[in-house]
Amino acid sequence: MAKLSSKKHSQTHRCIIYGPPKAGKTLIAGKLAEFYKLIWVDMENGHETLFQLPEAWQDNIELINLPDTRSYPIAIETVLKMVKGPVSICEEHGKVGCMLCKRELSTAQNAIADSDTSEKEKRDLYDEYLTDVNLPALTHESVVVFDSLTQLTNSAISHITKNESDEYKLTYDDWGNLGKLLDIFLSHIQQAGYNVIVISHETEAETEGKKKTLVPVGGTRNFSRNIAKYFDHVIYAERKNKKHVFSSSTTYATTILTGSRTGVAIEDANEPSLLTIFKPELYGDSLDPAIAEGTSGARSSAAGTVNSAAKSAVTANTGAASKKSTSDILARLKNKK
């Protein structure tokens, strides 16, 4: 039997960062490349922002580009395969086991087979066509970034309705299937042995007492309202006075869903950084970057008084959600569309 104290500080973190466009979500996640190996699953073609990082940090980021569109919704298919096991993804289509690209690679390999080709050249040729990735084998030294859950949701919807016309209205079963697909993805990353960052946008959801609250987008409004339960940290990003502002404590604002299971209040740091979550030992009690080592214990007990984690907010929301009638939810979904 494991002692509770040994379970207290989980080695990995699951974060969702959400907010409006241009709020600095990509960059704050990318900065983790200073200390971690990042696998960046880009469904938004948003990786250009990462070129602002020092080159040495960029070397720690492996980019997997998934060119997801309405007519080619590849992201949901590839991401679900990625979280389950080792895969080989083609550069051109973002597809697992792409026969077209495998054939092209093999033609190219045959063309250089007889010549005096080094192992490195062979490897480079392979890398031009395919990326091998094995997420379940990753450890706490890696961070996998999914950018974004909004696009993954769109991809799943396009996938579910791929044989329908543009006029098509999603049925109750379609929305149910969307929820199932997203649940498979989120459940896998919830159990992952690596760190996870999911980037998303914001939507307004009604919680208990008809209060409007901003929550991360993921699936239907109903599903979005409960999405925080899959994460340890729910971080809101916004622009205030031309600055990027981030918040993670439960008490930050009553109309914005935020929370941190380890009690981190990212808004208290001098410079907003995810290291307040990933490497709290770099910070003292005040969340100013500190040189002191071994302060993580003090840090978490100090913050313990600040909040009681995202889950409590979420539990309240779930209760409100289940009281809503199905037809009500569907009606609102149709309006949204």
**For binding to Zn ion (CB under 5 A), which residues are involved?**
90, 92-93, 95, 98, 100-101
Residues in the chain: 337
How many C-beta atoms lie closer than 10 Å to residue 169's C-beta? 10
* Of residues 109 and 190, the one with the C-beta less far from Zn ion: 109
- Nearest distance, CB of residue 159 and Zn ion, angstroms: 17
Q: Which residue, 37 or 93, is less far from Zn ion as judged by CB?
A: 93
Report the alpha-carbon distance of residue 49 to residue 90 in Å, rounded.
23
**C-beta of 96 vs 237, nearer to Zn ion:** 96
Least distance in Å: CB of 151 to Zn ion?
19
Q: How far is the CB of 113 from Zn ion (least distance, A)?
A: 22
What would the two tokens of residue 1 be?
């039997």
Q: 14 or 95, CB closer to Zn ion?
A: 95
Angle between helical axes of 99-113 and 119-129 (0-180°, round to 10): 160
- Tell me how far, at minimum, the Cβ of 102 lies from Zn ion, in Å: 8
Distance from C-alpha of 207 to C-alpha of 142, rounded to nearest angstrom: 35
Q: How far apart are CA 77 and CA 189, in angstroms?
A: 15
Residue/partner pairs of 4-10 with CB below 8 Å, 24 or more apart: 9/262, 9/296, 9/300, 10/232
Q: Looking at beta carbons only, is 90 or 257 nearer to Zn ion? A: 90
The nearest distance, CB 161 to Zn ion, in angstroms, is 23
Q: Which amino acid is present at 322?
A: S
